[in-house]
A = this chain, B = another copy of it.
Amino acid sequence: MALRHAVLAALLDGEYSGYQLAKAFDIGVANFWHAVPQQLYTELAKLEKEGLVAGRQVIQESRPNKRLFRVTDAGQAELERFAADVSKPSFIRDDLLVKVQAADRVGTGPVIEQLDERAAAADAKIELLGKLLLRLRGDVDEDEFLRTGERIGPYLTCLRGLSFEREHREWCLRIAAVLRERRTEHAER
């Protein structure tokens, strides 16, 4: 039940509409929680009913009206409560790893391809996160920012995302190489 808390945490940085929140989620929050827009709309509606966020209508001229949400005091308290109780350990949950587990019992061709694609996707994400980090910390250097920055939460989670993507890329490349070599050796025999 942490989507609600992820939403609350994301709304700490300002007012967002469901639509904007979906975008903000894609960059940033996506490092530790993924959600499609529909989920966010649903969650915002629930949170509003429970009084954890408050919405206000914004009439717009040249585009559809929207509702901006902010965290209420009750929402803040709920986050506080959430932060204090224990959370289950995290784990990777990845289709691709299922495929690799079966790797020497199924055709490796498509798996190798997907490993390459993943590595490339990770690369793209790494660059994106690098830029995001730079933007978040401004001109100061990282250690300095982490000591004195106003709002470091998002920065810290991005660091985790970055290290995850890096490791993921390295692993993908290495495994793809291993599987390739085995194919070659097999062909030679």
Q: Which residues of A are in contact with B by a Cβ distance under 8 Å?
A: 2, 5-6, 8-10, 12, 29-34, 76, 79-80, 82-107, 110-111, 114, 117-118, 121, 146-147, 150-154, 156-157, 159-161, 163-164, 167-168, 170-171, 174-175, 178, 181-182, 185
Contacts and interface: CB of A to CB of B under 8 A. Distances in A.
A82 B100 CA distance: 11
A138 to B, nearest CB: 16
A10 B106 CA distance: 13
B101 A114 contact: no
Most B Cβ at <10 Å: residue of A101, A154, A157, A174? A101
A168 B92 CA distance: 11
Given A32-B93, A118-B89, A105 B182 contact: no
Tell me the dominant secondary structure on chain A's binding face. Answer: helix
Given A97-B31, A100-B156, A101-B29, A90 B87 contact: no
26 contacts: A5-B98, A8-B102, A12-B101, A12-B105, A31-B91, A32-B93, A33-B97, A33-B98, A34-B91, A79-B102, A79-B106, A83-B110, A84-B107, A87-B94, A87-B99, A88-B95, A90-B92, A92-B161, A92-B164, A100-B153, A101-B153, A103-B156, A104-B153, A147-B185, A156-B178, A163-B167
Contacts of A156: 100-101, 103, 175, 178
B167 A152 contact: no
- Kindly report how many copies of this chain are found in the complex they form together: 2
A79 B124 CA distance: 29
Given A34-B91, A83-B107, A103-B156, 17 more contacts: A32-B92, A33-B91, A33-B93, A33-B97, A82-B99, A85-B110, A87-B96, A90-B96, A90-B97, A92-B160, A97-B160, A100-B156, A100-B160, A104-B152, A104-B153, A163-B167, A163-B170
